[in-house]
Amino acid sequence: MNRRAVLAIVRKDLRAVGRSKGVMLPLVLVPLVILGVMPAVVSWVPSLIPPEAMMGVEGFLARMPEGLRAELSGLEGAQRLLVLVLVYFFAPMYLIVPLMVASVIAADSFAGEVERRTAEALLYTPTTDGELFLGKVLAAWLPALGVGLGGFLLYGLVADLCTYRVVGRLLFPNPMWLVLLVWVAPAVAGLGLGTMVLVSSRVRTFQEAYQLGGAVVLPVLLLVVGQITGVLYFSLPVVALLGLLLWAVDAGLLWYGARTFRREALITRL
Amino acid sequence: MSTEGGGARLGSARSQHGRGLLELTDGKAVIVVEGLSRRFGDVTAVNGLSLKIQEGEVFGLLGHNGAGKTTTIRLLTGVLSPHGGEARVLGLDPTRDGPALRGRTGVLTETPALDERLTARENLSYYADLYGVPRHEVPARVEGLLEEFELADRADEPVGRYSKGMRQRLALARALLPGPELLFLDEPTTGLDPVAAREVRELIVRLSGEEGRTVVLCTHNLVEAQRLCHRVGVLEHGRLVALGTPAELVRGLDRGLRVEVELSPGDEGAVGALRGLPGVLEVVEERPGLLGVKVASPRVVPEIAAAVVGAGGRLYRLQPQEPTLEDFYLALHGGKGGR
């Protein structure tokens, strides 16, 4: 394995992405809104709810799974609402960030390179198919981890700053979110990446890849809906299991992607 | 230089070599190909190609769009696998030794294929890493190429701001970056102004003549091919239909010698005299005062001057036209053979 070539591909892809406004805009805006603005707004909401309306909230909480209600026991109305939303409901929302970052960069790196026809010169270099694939995968995966970590820090900071006065303790970091950060977020980034590798092998443009690959966000949205409707909640075991499931799917996707990533197939699409 | 193919149009029995080409490698052959084929669905892009290209040779690969030139480059660099036949390039099997082979070759693609978001320097440095140019040599080599291709002043600008000619020069610089023994150049002078195009032609001559590198040149520019190439091969629907030196190919044209004769417009007496001259095969008035005269042999040329003057005509110009590679190419493809 030629590590120098792999790192060169990673560096070059990141540099190119950094200079593309069309690619950078969602990479900056989406994490900022989801992990910076939204927790601040959500933290402010309980203070707007009149005490009598809190009864409705209690009814809503009653429909939540037993384990979650146990987690929230000992907290008062506004505190409960904040913990429920910021710690549990937002957990799958957080996963959208590494998923989206990996998807956008992978679409640019795989389909974009074909669209711009820059792939042709790349395929005439002495790099092997495996090195090319690894370079492209890392170029999308590593920034997703970086943004995921940065987003986690931002989210934790905003949430703690905005809720400390009401809750009286720090909500972040906590064990479930740490598992989310180190175990699930990398896996979900791999899911976005693996999906985009598959999609990119069948389309010719960045836009096509991004639009088709965007469907990968649906399972994450199902997790959000699942929590809101009380079907499941992000307990530590559930999160650990979710990570395991995602890693298994990633392994399948990347194994298939690596098998089908052949310069012969790529060059005939140019 | 190999004369494999005999400098003539090749029939369908082209691959009757007696001994296989692969057995003929004598240490100087850089590319040896026998019966190479590649299909895409129902279309055969390269069909039974057999060829031998020697070290230091500039070999022109000619043919219409879709004739199989680019597919041939891809097969010879191991980017595509053949469906039939064999190839040895720099002594390596392109299919099995693709990475090693590509490390010793440079390819100028039909489109520059540069990342427009990166600067020229970044583009070259990136490819230096991919080609494994020793780290300590990278800055000097990149700088040297930027200077050589007159891009140094704008080396730190994104390539997206470059003109078509500048991009082409940068792509050429990239092809030379690894110091390749073998260069595949696909339309190298496209988009270049006349001065830059001449410099590229001089560069090709230098690479081949002084540095002993082998160049495979794919081009539609037949004047360029005639000027630069030691030998050319013409592909048609993936088949090699002609192979030889430009002179050999042109010599095979059954067209006589064409002479341009310029005289006073409407000088019917002189035209009549030329039509009656022994050895003149055809006289065509291309425009008033300009005749295209086809003669059987160069010995007739002085007789043309004498006939015009003898008929009282005023002769302004008499110019024998040597047949060109373009004439050969057009004749081969059923077009107009003469100008």
DSSP letters spanning B160-184? GGS-HHHHHHHHHHHHHTT--SEEE
Assembly ipTM: 0.88
- Quote the distance between the C-alpha of residue A237 and its chain's center: 20
Of B112, B130, B171, the CB nearest to A8: B130
Q: Say if the Cβ atoms of A4 and B99 lie within 8 Å.
A: no
**Which chain A residue has the Cα nearest residue B171?**
A121
Residue B128 has pLDDT above 50, yes or no: yes
What's the mean pLDDT in B165-184?
A: 94
Contact between B306 and B261 (Cβ < 8 Å): no
The residue to which tokens 């809190």 are assigned: A54
- Quote the distance between the C-alpha of residue B322 and its chain's center: 19
Higher per-residue confidence, B240 vs A167: B240
Its pTM surpasses 0.90: no
Q: Say if the Cβ atoms of B105 and A5 lie within 8 Å.
A: no
Q: Say if the Cβ atoms of A16 and B158 lie within 8 Å.
A: no
In the three-class reduction of DSSP (H, G, I as helix; E, B as strand; rest coil), residue A132 is classed as helix
Mutate to test the interface with A, among B95, B96, B117, B124 (most CBs of A within 10 A): B117
**Which chain B residue has the Cα nearest residue A11?**
B126
* The pLDDT value given to residue B22: 47
Say if A3 is an interface residue toward chain B (CB within 8 Å): no
Residue B15 has pLDDT above 60, yes or no: no
* Domain edges within chain A: 3-267
Strands (E), chain B: 8-9, 29-40, 43-54, 58-62, 84-89, 105-108, 182-186, 214-218, 231-236, 239-244, 257-263, 280-287, 290-295, 315-321
- Residue B175 makes CB contacts below 8 A (sequence gap 6+) with B106, B107, B108, B183, B185
* The pLDDT value given to residue B24: 41
Residue B6 has pLDDT above 70, yes or no: no
Q: Which residues of chain A have pLDDT under 50?
A: none
Helix spans in chain A (H):
3-18, 21-32, 38-44, 54-62, 66-72, 77-82, 90-106, 112-115, 119-123, 129-167, 175-179, 185-200, 206-213, 218-228, 236-260, 263-267
* The pLDDT value given to residue B1: 37
Contact between B247 and B54 (Cβ < 8 Å): no
Q: Say if the Cβ atoms of A120 and B122 lie within 8 Å.
A: no
Higher per-residue confidence, B23 vs B252: B252
Name every chain A residue with its beta carbon within 8 A of the beta carbon of B77.
124
Say if A129 is an interface residue toward chain B (CB within 8 Å): no
Q: Say if the Cβ atoms of A8 and B115 lie within 8 Å.
A: no
What's the mean pLDDT in B97-121?
A: 95
pLDDT class for B332, splitting at 50, 70, 90? Answer: confident
Residue B16 has pLDDT above 50, yes or no: no
- Between CA B333 and CA A67 the distance in angstroms is 81
Residue B10 has pLDDT above 70, yes or no: no
Q: Say if the Cβ atoms of B118 and A268 lie within 8 Å.
A: no
Residue B238 has pLDDT above 50, yes or no: yes
* The pLDDT value given to residue B335: 56
* The pLDDT value given to residue B255: 63
Average pLDDT, chain B: 87
The two structure tokens encoding residue B116: 């427009």
* The pLDDT value given to residue A178: 96
Q: Say if the Cβ atoms of A125 and B77 lie within 8 Å.
A: no
Say if A169 is an interface residue toward chain B (CB within 8 Å): no
